[in-house]
Amino acid sequence: MIRIAAVGDIHLGSGDQGLLRPAFQTLPECADLLLLAGDLTRHGTPEEARVVAREVQGLGVPVVAVLGNHDHHDDRPDEVTAILRDTGTQVLEGQGTVVTSGGARIGVAGTKGFGGGFVGRCAGEFGEPVMKEFVRYSRRCADSLRTSLERLGEEGCDARIALTHFSPVPDTLAGEPLEIYPFLGSYLLAEAIDTAGADLAVHGHAHAGTEHGMTSGGVRVRNVAQPVIGRAFHVYHLPVHDHATTGAAAPAAR
């Protein structure tokens, strides 16, 4: 079994140093890697990013992250990314990475993603240029996720994980006001995941949502926003992939 620790929406500020470190230091005992599903800071400042970096530096397990909308608020996502990467965190945006743990090769494809809504109630590329760009940006995020997952599949990973901030499905938004669903995720992410294949999809962003969901193609989705999981992180268990199996994703156990 591959053990995946995950959390999002930790929203650390300048005065939060040490808040999560004691829990994170237990990770080598229970997990093979830590996934951070965005909104790591409150306002996306370099000062806050340094707080996050110190919390996750030298934990003894690989750390893979995507940024969230809060991490973009100060318009310095490149600086936030560089600070995290300088201390060993792999920050993904339209990319994939392979983590090796205990002989298993775990592929993680990551993008922040974006909104737009879900089938039947979604935005389209029509009308004003700003609306077209909104949807095209969501599509570019989804396309990069699909491409990264496909490449990881070609590399023969033992498990593949889609890591986003925005949700790929409406299931994990249950509890949020219906009016804001279009700003919490996009069906384009789920289409990318189902097209390329994955063993697990992890996201944050929906603080009042629900932990469990599934894409129409049968990939299990988990909302790991900290207000939802109610702890420093949650650990999910994935069976090691049978390389003779293609197509459908393997089930993800809790």
Reading the chain (254 residues) residue by residue, the pLDDT tens digits are 999 999 999 999 999 999 999 999 999 999 999 999 999 999 999 999 999 999 999 999 999 999 999 999 999 999 999 999 999 999 999 999 999 988 899 999 999 999 999 987 777 777 788 889 999 999 999 999 999 999 999 999 999 999 999 999 999 999 999 999 999 999 999 999 999 999 999 999 999 999 999 999 999 999 999 999 999 999 999 988 665 444 444 444 45
Q: Kindly tell me the number of DSSP H helices and DSSP E strands found in the chain.
A: 7, 13
- DSSP assignment, residue 4? E
**CB of 165 closer than 8 Å to CB of 8:** yes
Q: Is 152 helix (H, G, I), strand (E, B) or coil?
A: helix
Question: Which pLDDT belongs to residue 248?
Answer: 40
Question: Which pLDDT belongs to residue 19?
Answer: 96
Question: Which pLDDT belongs to residue 244?
Answer: 42
| Spans of all domains in the chain | 2-238
Question: Which pLDDT belongs to residue 23?
Answer: 98
> In the numeric block, which tokens belong to residue 212?
């469990």
User: Tell me, which fold does domain 2-238 have in CATH?
Assistant: Purple Acid Phosphatase; chain A, domain 2 (3.60.21)
Question: Which pLDDT belongs to residue 101?
Answer: 85
